[in-house]
């Protein structure tokens, strides 16, 4: 394929199949970021929209109450029943997906922009790092697709939100129940996160010329800090 025929759609395939090639092309095509950004947001939002229209909502309310600590369960039950309504929960979650997606990518872009300034000094603009964050996060669409599969194959519509994370460490390895110390920690860390770190490591090395070891340390550091500190608090 000729170089000038490479498109954003090729990049969306290659970020999975040939990430090095995709990341090389993405560096000089910052405007491409809107495609993976919109697809990521629309798929995640659509998944939650479908979930809240599919789930047994009265059961979900009682399940949410059941997950509260025993000492505060009676006190919090009434407020949860008043607040948790299907439309309110759905649109609150969809709004949170949109806002937090932008916030997460801005934080990551800022981190890599500063890391580059301090470690390599390569001439890479903040907008390019924002694009970098979006593209390396594009593989999160597989998490949304896995959630759809969980709903389509479930024996009933009594499925808690944390069970949508089919690729989490909790679903795959830990199997902690709600209320157990490691439940939230293991439910928040997924195979997608490791995939993203892998892509960030490759991309940072190719964009800045840093060694793969240095790039991997820079990519892993914030995740290790967050989940490491969280683990010590459990």
Residue the block writes with tokens 């607040």: 83
Alpha-helix runs per DSSP H in the chain: 8-17, 19-27, 34-54, 57-66, 70-83, 86-119, 126-136, 141-153, 169, 183-188, 191-208, 212-233
Q: Report the alpha-carbon distance of residue 119 to residue 96 in Å, rounded.
A: 34
Residuewise pLDDT in 10s, the chain (234 residues): 445 689 999 999 999 999 999 999 999 999 999 999 999 999 999 999 999 999 999 999 988 888 776 666 667 777 888 888 889 999 999 999 999 999 999 999 999 999 999 988 889 999 999 999 999 999 999 999 999 999 999 999 999 888 899 999 999 998 888 778 898 899 999 999 999 999 999 999 999 999 999 999 999 999 999 999 999 998
* The predicted structure's pLDDT at residue 226: 94
* The predicted structure's pLDDT at residue 74: 67
Q: Report the alpha-carbon distance of residue 218 to residue 4 in Å, rounded.
A: 32
* The predicted structure's pLDDT at residue 121: 83
Q: Which residues, other chains included, contact 36 with Cβ-Cβ below 8 Å and sequence gap of 6+? A: 12, 15, 134, 135, 137, 138
Q: Name the residue ranges covered by the structural domains of the chain.
A: 8-233
CA-to-CA separations, 33 to 19, 106, 123, 130, in angstroms, rounded: 15, 13, 19, 8
Q: Which residues, other chains included, contact 225 with Cβ-Cβ below 8 Å and sequence gap of 6+? A: none
* The predicted structure's pLDDT at residue 146: 95
Q: Report the alpha-carbon distance of residue 132 to residue 176 in Å, rounded.
A: 34
Coil, strand, or helix at residue 103?
A: helix
């Amino acid at each position: 394929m000729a170089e000038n025929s490479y498109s954003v759609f090729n990049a969306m395939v290659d970020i999975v199949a040939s990430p090095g090639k995709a990341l090389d092309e993405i560096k000089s095509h910052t405007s491409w970021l809107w495609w993976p950004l919109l697809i990521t947001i629309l798929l995640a939002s659509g998944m939650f929209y479908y979930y809240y229209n599919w789930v047994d909502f009265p059961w979900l309310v009682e399940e949410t109450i059941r997950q509260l600590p025993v000492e505060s369960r009676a006190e919090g039950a009434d407020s949860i029943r008043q607040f948790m309504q299907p439309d309110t929960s759905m649109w609150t979650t969809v709004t949170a997906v949109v806002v937090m997606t932008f916030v997460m990518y801005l934080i990551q872009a800022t981190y890599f922009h500063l890391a580059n300034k301090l470690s390599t000094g390569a001439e890479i603009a903040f907008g390019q790092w924002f694009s970098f964050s979006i593209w390396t996060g594009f593989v999160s669409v597989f998490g949304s697709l896995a959630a759809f599969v969980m709903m389509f194959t479930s024996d009933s519509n009594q499925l808690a939100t944390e069970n949508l994370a089919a690729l989490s460490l909790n679903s795959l390895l830990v199997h902690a129940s709600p209320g157990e110390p490691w439940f939230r920690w293991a439910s928040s860390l997924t195979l997608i996160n490791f995939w993203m770190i892998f892509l960030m490591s490759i991309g940072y090395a190719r964009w800045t010329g840093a060694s793969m070891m240095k790039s991997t340390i820079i990519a892993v550091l914030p995740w290790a800090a967050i989940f490491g500190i969280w683990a010590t608090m459990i």
